[in-house]
Amino acid sequence: MATKSLTVTEEAYEHLKAYKREDESFTDTILRLTDADRDVMKGFGAFENDEGFRNAAETARAGLNEDIAERRERHRDRRDRDSER
């Protein structure tokens, strides 16, 4: 099998390294990530055991829930004021 060398920035290397599984080479990682016929269902559960991702998702969800609650309250207040007229 022929090989090619690539030059990437440190940042690109770290990003790729983050996707690399313990049991695969960088070649395997690149092939897995760039497979045009990928089954999108394979990705489900990929972050299941990632506490940082879980915490970020929960924080984002809480912020969205607060925003929605505030918008609903403003809408109710506006509706109530309009109905009093």
DSSP of 5-28: -----HHHHHHHHHH--TTS-HHH
Residue whose C-alpha is closest to residue 12's, from 33, 35, 36: 33
3-state secondary structure of 28: helix
Mean pLDDT calculated for residue range 63-80: 94
At residue 71 the predicted structure's pLDDT band, cuts being 50, 70 and 90, is very high
For 11-53, what is each residue's pLDDT tens digit? 999 999 999 999 999 999 999 888 877 677 777 887 888 899 9
At residue 1 the predicted structure's pLDDT band, cuts being 50, 70 and 90, is confident
Mean pLDDT calculated for residue range 52-76: 95
The two three-digit tokens of residue 49, written as one number: 């055991």
Gap between the Cα atoms of 85 and 77, Å rounded:
13
Instruction: Give the chain's length.
Output: 85
